[in-house]
């Protein structure tokens, strides 16, 4: 069995899940300060991935401005709030782009995403196959929603997955913690940022 504390950069890709401006650089100053450590963690892990030749794959959650692709499914959340259970940014808007500190480079990959999974309807799975990558590093928000959905789907695709704690966030702290400490442990390795960076360097 492969060493669980090592990553082969030749077989690994980094998925920067929904690291858009809307989430990581919100207009409210207090929210922006609270989320800043997550953005700093992304700066570090993206730099580490690029340094060893690991492809960086970005996703951003978008819907059409006219809402034609927004579906009001009958869920408990939609019944309680009166809004769709899935809310995205507007395709082409500034908020759907990425903070300057972690802006994609020409060699990176960017996918628009209309559903919680990083894989559903995006082409990310096909890209990993073409690049011959069977391992992903992932983080993003919300932890218990989109990240966990993507981790579960990656498991179904037989992808080895490492979740970076410091690169995850969620407005519901109890759900965020449960997802990292309990729910995703069946499907992935959950590691701190410094551990993942060491794994990329060879353990």
Interval 189-199: pLDDT, tens: 999 999 999 99
What kind and span of H or E run contains 13? strand 12-17
Domain 9-200 bears CATH identifier 3.30.470.10? no
How confident is the model at residue 80, as a pLDDT?
Answer: 86
Mean of pLDDT values over 127-139: 98
Mean of pLDDT values over 4-33: 95
How confident is the model at residue 203, as a pLDDT?
Answer: 61
Model confidence, pTM: 0.94
77 vs 117, residue with greater confidence: 117
Least confident of 90-94, 127-131, 157-161: 90-94
Share of the chain above pLDDT 90, in %: 80
Is the model's pLDDT at 46 over the cut of 90?
yes
Least confident of 58-62, 91-95, 152-156, 183-187: 91-95
Backbone conformation region of residue 134, classed left if phi is above 0, alpha if psi is from -120 to 50, else beta? alpha
How confident is the model at residue 199, as a pLDDT?
Answer: 97
Query: Which tens digit of pLDDT belongs to each residue from 163-172?
Result: 999 999 999 9
- Residue 116 is encoded by which pair of tokens? 């919680």
Is the model's pLDDT at 3 over the cut of 90?
no
Query: Which tens digit of pLDDT belongs to each residue from 57-91?
Result: 999 998 898 888 887 788 888 888 887 777 788 88
Q: Measured between alpha carbons, how far is 22 from 95 in angstroms, rounded to an integer?
A: 4
What sign for the dihedral angle of Cα 74, 77, 80, 84?
Answer: negative
What kind and span of H or E run contains 39? helix 29-51
Determine contact, residues 14/57, Cβ cutoff 8 Å: yes
């Amino acid at each position: 069995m492969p060493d669980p504390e090592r990553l082969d950069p030749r077989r690994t890709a980094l998925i920067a899940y929904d690291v858009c401006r809307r989430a990581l650089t919100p207009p409210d100053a207090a929210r922006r300060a609270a989320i800043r450590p997550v953005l700093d963690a992304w700066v570090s892990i993206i730099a580490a991935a690029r340094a060893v030749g690991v492809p960086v794959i970005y996703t951003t959650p978008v819907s059409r401005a006219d809402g034609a692709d927004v579906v009001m499914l009958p869920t408990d959340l939609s019944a309680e709030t009166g809004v769709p259970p899935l809310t995205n940014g507007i395709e082409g808007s500034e908020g759907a782009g990425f903070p300057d500190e972690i802006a994609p480079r020409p060699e990176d990959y960017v996918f628009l995403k209309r559903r919680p999974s990083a894989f559903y309807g995006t082409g990310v799975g096909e890209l990993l196959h073409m690049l011959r990558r069977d391992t992903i590093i992932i983080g993003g928000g919300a932890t218990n929603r989109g990240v966990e959905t993507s981790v579960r789907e990656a498991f179904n695709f037989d992808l080895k997955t490492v979740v970076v704690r410091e690169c995850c966030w969620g407005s519901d702290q109890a759900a965020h913690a449960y997802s990292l400490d309990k729910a995703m442990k069946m499907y992935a390795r959950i590691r701190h940022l410094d551990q993942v960076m060491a794994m990329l360097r060879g353990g």
